[in-house]
Structure 1
Amino acid sequence: MLSKSYSILQVFARQKEEKKERALTKREWIKIDRIVIILLFAAVIAGAILFS
């Protein structure tokens, strides 16, 4: 019996169906903005602690 082995090159292989990109809704933009602002705020606090 043959087993199917997955090589690392299959990750980079082109998909059979190309995904259609859809526009983000206003609610999704707000969520993303909040996450980015929180990450930047945390990075500033960490940097202030690290370099003080």
Structure 2
Amino acid sequence: MLIKSFTVLQAFARQKEESQAKPITRKQWINADRIVMIALFLSVIVGAILFS
């Protein structure tokens, strides 16, 4: 009789049911762009202070 034992490879096996990625909306794109622009702006300010 074979025993189903847990192996390391079972954790990496692909599941039968894959989740579909939802496309993001225009509003989500705008919010993501704003966050990136703020992060870049703040990093430029911090870089200017550190390297001056």
TM norm structure 1: 0.67
- Which structure 2 residue ranges, 5 or more long, are not aligned? 1-7
- The one-letter amino acid of 1:47's match is G
- The one-letter amino acid of 2:24's match is L
| Corresponding position of 1:29 | 29
Paired residue total: 43
Map 1:1-52 → 2, pairs under 5 A: 10=11, 13-16=12-15, 17-52=17-52
- The one-letter amino acid of 1:36's match is V
Q: What's the RMSD between the two structures over aligned residues?
A: 2.0
Identity of aligned residues (%): 48
